Amino acid sequence: MIEIKNLTKSFGSNLIWKDVSFRIEDGETLAVIGKSGCGKSVLLKHLNALLYPDSGKIIIDGQDLFCLSYSELRIMRKRFGILFQGSALFDSISTFENVAFPLRYFTDQSEEEIRDNVEQALEMVNLEGAGDKATSSLSGGMRKRVGVARAIILKPQYLLYDEPTSGLDPQTSEEINELIVHMADSLDITSIVITHDMHSVLSIAEKVAFLSEQQLCWFGSVEDMKDSDQPDLIDFITASEYQIKND
Amino acid sequence: MESIKQFGQYSLLLYQALRSVTEFSTYRKNLFSEFVKVGYESIPIIILTGFFTGAVLTLQTAYQLDTDLYPSSIVGSIVGQSILIELAAVIGGLVLAGKVGARISTELGTMRVSEQIDALESMGFNSVTFLVIPRVLAGICMFPILYVTAASMGIIGGIIAGAVDGILPAAEFMVGAREFFYPEDVVFGIIKSIVFGFVITSISCYKGYYAFGGAEGVGNATTQATVLGCIFVILTDFILAAVLL
């Protein structure tokens, strides 16, 4: 379980958000939504202590993330898998080696075991046989899939997705949404998805956190969101519906 | 104020690197590939630079000493000693500040802005151990080898230029070079090259590791790494000369 308590973050004099608090139960899929620039990705980076807050806490299974020593933090980070916005694949090595990367350094697996695990992970993301490809030759959707395969290779407890469908066509976005649901179901993973794509939210999430006006404006289930009377959230949903219709 | 902050950040990065230098298994693979990139791949430019530095120095020294007051072998003495004490290390350092420094800062800068460093950290890697230590160690280990290459090529360049231009025969050049050859000059040159290797790679790592702002940010980081690398080569050259000579 992840508990976020009174998190406040600013960059210099620029306040990103203040007093953000919510809780994610094990096995849930949470979507963090909001306008571009509202600090969604900044929040995601706090969940892995890639950024530190000005004040507040993140408690992960009873451990205060920001009180951990660096060596404890490295152990904690292995419980997370992250799909970064641009996939963050290592461009100097092949697709196979990208997925095998954590296994080579953090496990004692033999070459054969590594090959089996990587092929299994690539199969889960529907990329069988793509291991030999250079990452630079992959399409946007394929890069996201490889990113997911790499994120799940160490069987993490939590999977974080940063804008998984941004820059993708509707069909590929749908495939990625299905992949997120499949990952959550088949691996029993707690997922946190940063997105501004309402179609994704409705497809994958059970809970929603809405960031706006430098604070957490709304938090609740997807069903409750539809009936919410929070004006900023209504505006956001209306704008998204308008965009979906126009698309 | 910004300079003090940057110096603090640079010191902290080096401290983090020093603390994790024992995690050899993390950077073993990278270390070998950095030896190749920093050392082996720099050999052609170092051969070229060293050779022509020696050749030009011979021609200019002969031009300046065009008198019967000195034996022509003095050209070999001056060229040999200048190359061993100063030119092989400094010119090599300046060239490598461009070649090696720019490559390191661009590589790490691109990794930073494309979130590859974040990806490493998020997997539980110590990115400093993984990225910074092998590059700095490669600089410290490979620059002395490149110095020896540059110095050898400088002397060969001097001999050939002298012989081809009819200034002095190769044997006479070597007589002069041997007469004023002191092994401690080579030791001094090697010490310089080790320091330059450390300065250039650590500054480039620092600039690349903390790059921000997309392609423009990587460009800025690379420019700063190259310029600072050159400045600190000259600065440390002066300090070492003052302390060690």
Model pLDDT for residues B6-16, shown as the tens digit of each residue: 999 999 999 99
Distance between CA atoms of A159 and A148, rounded to whole angstroms? 9
Contacts of residue A208, defined as CB under 8 A and 6 or more positions apart, other chains included, come to: A30, A31, A32, A33, A201, A218, A219, A220, A221, A222, A225
Would the pLDDT of A150 be above 70?
Answer: yes
Structure tokens at A71: 């060596």
Contacts B116 to A, Cβ<8 Å: 88-91
Residue in the block written with tokens 């707690």: A190
The closest of B74, B44, B27 to B168, measured between CA atoms, is B74
Check: CB of residue A20 under 8 Å from CB of residue A52: no
Structure tokens at A13: 């004099």
Residue in the block written with tokens 């800025």: B220
pLDDT for A167 equals 79
Burial class (CB in 10 A: 0-12, 13-18, 19+), B245: exposed
What percentage of chain B has pLDDT greater than the value 90? Answer: 88
Kindly report the nearest CA distance between residue A86 and chain B, in angstroms: 7
Chain B touched by A50 (CB under 8 Å)? yes
Structure tokens at A191: 């997922």
The neighbouring-strand residues paired with A221 are: A207
User: What pLDDT, in 10s, does the model give residues A184-215?
Assistant: 888 889 999 999 888 889 999 999 999 998 99
Chain B touched by A72 (CB under 8 Å)? no
Give the Å distances, CA to CA, from A213 to A153, A194, A195, A229, B192: 37, 17, 17, 16, 56
What value of ipTM does the predicted structure carry?
0.87
Chain B touched by A11 (CB under 8 Å)? no
Region A213-225 average pLDDT = 92
User: What pLDDT, in 10s, does the model give residues A51-96?
Assistant: 999 999 999 999 999 999 999 999 999 999 999 998 999 988 999 9
- Say which of A74, A86, A101 has its CB closest to residue B115: A86
**What is the overall mean pLDDT for chain B?**
94
Check: CB of residue A210 under 8 Å from CB of residue A230: yes
Alpha-helical regions (H) of chain B: 2-19, 24-34, 43-64, 74-82, 88-113, 116-122, 127, 133-164, 170-179, 183-209, 214-244
pLDDT class for A245, splitting at 50, 70, 90? low
The identity of residue B94, as a single letter, is L
Lowest mean pLDDT among B18-22, B39-43, B160-164: B18-22
Please answer yes or no on whether B115 and A80 come within 8 Å at the CB atom.
Answer: no
Please answer yes or no on whether B124 and A50 come within 8 Å at the CB atom.
Answer: no
Provide the 10 A C-beta neighbour count for residue B210: 17
The identity of residue B229, as a single letter, is G
pLDDT for A242 equals 64
Give the Å distances, CA to CA, from A47 to A42, A159, A161, A187, A190: 9, 11, 11, 20, 13
Beginning with the edge strand found earlier in the chain, give each strand of the sheet holding A55-60 in spatial order: A14-24, A2-11, A55-60, A63-64
Would the pLDDT of A183 be above 90?
Answer: no
- Say which of B116, B121, B124 has its CB closest to residue A106: B124
- Say which of B118, B119, B124 has its CB closest to residue A78: B124
Question: What letter would DSSP give residue A26?
Answer: T
Highest mean pLDDT among A148-152, A223-227, B101-105: B101-105
Chain A touched by B124 (CB under 8 Å)? yes
Contacts B123 to A, Cβ<8 Å: 77-78, 101-102, 106, 154
User: Side-chain half-sphere of A16: how many Cα atoms within 13 Å?
Assistant: 23
Residue in the block written with tokens 């006006």: A213
Question: What letter would DSSP give residue A130?
Answer: -
Lowest mean pLDDT among A5-19, B63-77, B105-119: B63-77
Structure tokens at A155: 């069987």
What percentage of chain B has pLDDT greater than the value 70? Answer: 100
pLDDT class for A229, splitting at 50, 70, 90? confident
Query: What phi and psi, each to the nearest 5 degrees, are found at residue B136?
Result: -70, -40
The closest of A3, A164, A1, A22 to A82, measured between CA atoms, is A164
Would the pLDDT of A244 be above 70?
Answer: no
